[in-house]
Amino acid sequence: MARTAAVTECPMDWVLRILMGPWTTYILWVLLRSGPSRFGEIKRQVPGISAKVLTERLRMLESTGIVDRRYEATIPPRVTYSLTRRGEELRLVLNQLNELARQWRAADGKAVPAKEDEVRIAPPPAGGSAPAPMHAAEPAE
Amino acid sequence: MARTAAVTECPMDWVLRILMGPWTTYILWVLLRSGPSRFGEIKRQVPGISAKVLTERLRMLESTGIVDRRYEATIPPRVTYSLTRRGEELRLVLNQLNELARQWRAADGKAVPAKEDEVRIAPPPAGGSAPAPMHAAEPAE
DNA sequence: CCGTATCCAACGCGATACTG
DNA sequence: CAGTATCGCGTTGGATACGG
């Protein structure tokens, strides 16, 4: 249980647990950059994530009201995810956190990637020096 | 690996990974409330945490410059941890995150625990073994 | 196309025992 | 006192196969 445990007493802890997932912030970043996106689109933008986990994360973000899920029962079905107002609110705070971290890293003499002007919410786990075969094949687009 | 992976490219992701640990924010909260504390003291304040994990978290926070570790090679040894300036900076942002989460939860009709006036950084997982009493008393600082 | 169900391997954490 | 080493188990996430 450990991290799965429903604490939810402390708002902070609660929201932190939502962002905690390894891909979560990256997904948010994709939605931020690309706007409303379909499931497959997101999956393609987040190399290495499995459908299972992507679904989990999306569901969690949805139940939190951070993303909106729009389902069209066409054939084939079309599902579109987008950031809600809460997602935007969250971004503002996250940007501050990002900025703070940047300052620290700069002070530490580490090169920071780039400022851009928006938060790039979070990159995926790097594949390079991974001990385990992290992501398998890239879905050739 | 997934979440253990060293991403460290994005500052946000980097700092998020530091806060991610189940006990991390709770430890910060203890340091916030009680001020500089010794290892055993912290451990006692975070019921259920193991020495191993506490050490890990402390080391991480230390290497990030969020907490300061002061070691006195007396017999018996005395090690004192305290928040640094970065720890304080972090708290400000974390407070905002906390506030945001509170608003959401309030809007969702969920009762929020209490406002107090400071962040109570994070309760431990309500694990089966040691259900920790959420918070102790009033903000001390 | 958008998922869900299942299996399995990796990891995280707690408990315990031991060292300086 | 302040850790470190080791072990075991629960949780998590990837891969795969299947369903709507």
HEC profile for chain B?
CCCCCCCCCCHHHHHHHHHHCCCHHHHHHHHHHHCCEEHHHHHHHCCCCCHHHHHHHHHHHHHHCCEEEEEECCCCCEEEEEECHHHHHHHHHHHHHHHHHHHHHHHCCCCCCCCCCCCCCCCCCCCCCCCCCCCCCCCCC
In this structure, is residue A121 part of a structural domain? no
In this structure, is residue B55 part of a structural domain? yes
Q: What residues of chain A lie within 8 A of the CB of B6, using their CB?
A: 126, 129
Q: How many domains does chain A have?
A: 1
Å between A74 CA and nearest CA of chain B: 31
Rounded to whole angstroms, the Cα distance separating A74 from B90 reads: 47
**Least confident among A1-15, A31-45, B64-78, B80-94:** A1-15
With distances taken from each CA to the C1' atom of nucleotide C16, the closest residue turns out to be B50
Instruction: Flag whether pLDDT at A3 surpasses 50.
Output: no
Percent of chain A with pLDDT strictly greater than 90: 52
pLDDT of residue B141: 28
pLDDT of residue A100: 93
Instruction: Flag whether pLDDT at A125 surpasses 50.
Output: no
Rounded to whole angstroms, the Cα distance separating B132 from B125 reads: 8
With distances taken from each CA to the C1' atom of nucleotide D11, the closest residue turns out to be A1
The CATH number covering residue A69 comes to 1.10.10.10
**Least confident among A10-24, A114-128, B44-58, B78-92:** A114-128
In this structure, is residue A102 part of a structural domain? yes
In this structure, is residue B2 part of a structural domain? no
Render the burial of A59-89: b for 16+ CB within 10 Å, e for the rest. ebbeebebbbeeeeeeeeeebbbebeebbee
Nearest CA in chain A to B53: A2
Percent of chain B with pLDDT strictly greater than 90: 54
In this structure, is residue B128 part of a structural domain? no
- The pLDDT-based confidence of A42 (bands split at 50, 70, 90) is very high
pLDDT of residue A45: 92
User: How crowded is residue A26: how many other Cβ atoms within 10 Å of its Cβ?
Assistant: 25
What is the rounded end-to-end Cα distance, in angstroms, of chain B?
38
In this structure, is residue B87 part of a structural domain? yes
Residue from B86, B91, B82, B87 nearest B38 by CA: B82
If you average pLDDT over residues A81-109, what whole number do you get?
Answer: 93
In this structure, is residue B121 part of a structural domain? no
If you average pLDDT over residues B72-78, what whole number do you get?
Answer: 94
- The pLDDT-based confidence of B36 (bands split at 50, 70, 90) is very high
pLDDT of residue A20: 81
The amino acid at A31: L
If you average pLDDT over residues A50-77, what whole number do you get?
Answer: 95
In this structure, is residue B23 part of a structural domain? yes
Cis peptide before B76 (omega within 30 of 0): yes
Range of the domain at B96: 12-108
